[in-house]
Structure 1
Amino acid sequence: MDETKKTGTEADDWEPLKAYTNARIALGKTGISIPLKESLQFRLAHAHAKDAVYSQLNVPELQATLSKTGLPVYCLKSKAENRDMYLQRPDFGRLLSTDSVQRLQQLNTPPADVCLIIADGLSATAIMKNAGSVVQLLVKKVHQAGFSLAPLLVIEQGRVAITDAVGEWLRPRLAIVFIGERPGLSSFDSMGAYITYAPQPGLTDERRNCISNIREQGLPPELAVDKLMYLIQAAFRMQLTGVALKDNNALDTSVVYPQLPG
């Protein structure tokens, strides 16, 4: 007796495509419903996503990992005092707390070419899993390219535009914020990187470039860093980021995509 008859689940013609994606496809069906196993997996994925939104940075662990770059690491906070405030007041997540502004003022460092910021965003889980390896590799390549680096900044309860608040005080030529992305049902640990040339208050999102889904099951750290280096060098050459800066890196033509059924 085959598996279909034993479980009462009808096979799906798209089943072979599951080898190429974590998307929720080819779930099968039992009568007019999806199988119990798939229903339970959906609930588990939803729970992972909710947990990621309320996850917290392990700041000492993250600071220890980032210190391996040889750069000083400073821990700051946004104006959002807690997670509920962060979710209810997005504007607070874009601004630095008063204490954090004072700390930046006290650094008194000359403007650097590149400033790297690590913020929890909507998934601190994503930052804890991915930021260390990506930042360590990126710092090495930025140094090799001859660019100067500002101290690393870890910002709790931060959003993408916290970059501009940092830019007001440190004045880097370019800033990159690594941030936990909004969790999906198959990607609760996805990290994004937003690149801004000449960050300053008042910028809007069309002035930034984004690299999304940085994680082992998505865009691996090595490829993410290669893309970041391409955009950094292009940004300095063109003196801008955003919609006018395109990622013209050649696509990997070695990937063979399966034919759709039917």
Structure 2
Amino acid sequence: MTKSPPSIISAGDLRRLTPARVALGRSGASVPTDALLNFTLDHARARDAVHTPFDAAAIIDGLTALELQPVAVRSEATDRKTYLRRPDLGRQLDAQSRNALSALNNAPCDLAILIGDGLSSAAVHLHGLELARRLAIKFAGLGMTLGPVVVASGARVALADEMGQLLNARMSVMLIGERPGLSAPDSLGCYVTYGPRPGLTDAERNCVSNIHAAGLSYDEAAFKIGWLVREGLERKISGVSLKDESGNITPLLPA
């Protein structure tokens, strides 16, 4: 029996399938000028995303409009240069913020939603409020109690551990700007941690990443995060002990 010849995928087809830099062609020993200029532009966008000042006040105003009880804090990284050079300082609250959260005398709650600038303030400005809104609606529908929503400047992922503990939360949900890529300078990530407290490792968190216009939609992200939170609270685990099996369930969209 004669085998059919394999189908040939054109360069144009490959480029339509992915935002990755594939099938760029060449000009002599180099890439074409258009490809080089596009690379330079995307690199500049990624750098801008890292250095864009975080507008915490706008996020606070947006959360207030959503009737979510926002609180502003900051890490021990006092400026962006320090933040980039000293990741350890971005994992610790400064004394004033620590005292402010402690003074709230928080009653125990199921969840603390935390929003941090991370490595892309642009991602938080674009996606943070809308995803927080959908998550708050979803968690309320699941009968979960929410603590204050904390907006953290100079934040690394692990800052959620200290904040979650001070908020007396069983689980923390940290929305944070991801390291910009050359095809996604505004990608938001979400880290879910059961029993937040200082000293945890990344193995004890679940991550839902790539939330942006060309990646995971708000509804898809909220569905995955909601599943992880519900299962994590029920089983009292997160991280490598909690496998994301939300893909086995058909989501009801919109959230």
Whether these two folds match at TM > 0.5 is yes
Name which of 213, 218, 221 aligns with 1:221.
218
Is residue 100 of structure 2 the alignment partner of residue 103 of structure 1? yes
1:160 aligns with 2:171: no
Shift of 1:15: 2.0
**2:177 is the alignment partner of 1:180:** yes
Q: Taking every aligned residue pair, what percent have the same amino acid on both sides?
A: 39
Q: CA deviation at 1:68?
A: 3.0
Q: 1:111, 1:56 → 2: CA distance?
A: 33
Q: Contact 1:113–1:172 (CA<8 Å) still a contact in 2?
A: yes
Gaps of 5+ in 2: 1-8, 251-255
Amino acid at match of 2:188: M
Contact 2:232-2:242 within 8 A present in 1 as well: yes
Q: Report the Cα distance in structure 1 between the residues aligned to 2:249 and 2:216, rounded to whole angstroms.
A: 13
Q: Shift of residue 19 of structure 1?
A: 1.7
- In the alignment, residue 195 of structure 2 is paired with which amino acid? A
How far is 1:251 from its partner? 6.2
User: Does residue 211 in structure 1 map to residue 190 in structure 2?
Assistant: no
Residue segments in structure 1 that go unaligned for 5+ positions in a row: 1-11, 254-262
Match of 1:248 among 218, 236, 245: 245
Amino acid at match of 1:74: V
Superposed CA offset, 1:181-224 (max 9, x none): 11111111001000000000111110000001111110011100
Checking the alignment, whether the CA contact within 8 Å between 1:235 and 1:241 is kept in structure 2 is yes
Tell me, in whole angstroms, the C-alpha distance in 2 between the residues paired with 1:201 and 1:187.
31
Q: Deviations over 1:105-157 (max 9, x none)?
A: 11112021000000000000010011111000100110011000011100000
Give distance in 2, aligned partners of 1:110 and 1:130: 29
TM-score (norm 2): 0.91
CA distance in 2, matches of 1:27, 1:160: 36
Report whether the alignment pairs 1:56 with 2:53.
yes
Work out which of the residue numbers 58, 63, 71 in structure 2 matches 1:74. Answer: 71
Amino acid at match of 2:85: Q
Q: Is the 8 A contact 2:123 2:188 kept in 1?
A: yes
Question: Distance between the aligned counterparts of 1:147 and 1:252, measured in 2?
Answer: 21
Instruction: Report the CA distance between 1:31 and its aligned residue.
Output: 2.4
Q: In 1, Cα distance between the equivalents of 2:42 and 2:248?
A: 31
Q: Is residue 134 of structure 1 aligned with residue 131 of structure 2? A: yes
Contact 1:171 1:198 in 2 (8 A): no
Count of residue pairs brought into register by the alignment = 242
The one of 81, 88, 91 equivalent to 1:91 is 88
Q: How far did 1:170 drift?
A: 1.4
Matches within 5 A, 1:12-51: 13-51=10-48
Distance in 2 between residues matched to 1:249 and 1:228, nearest whole Å: 9
Task: Check whether the contact 2:106–2:168 (CA below 8 A) recurs between aligned residues.
Answer: no
Instruction: Classify the secondary structure of the residue corresponding to 2:247.
Output: coil
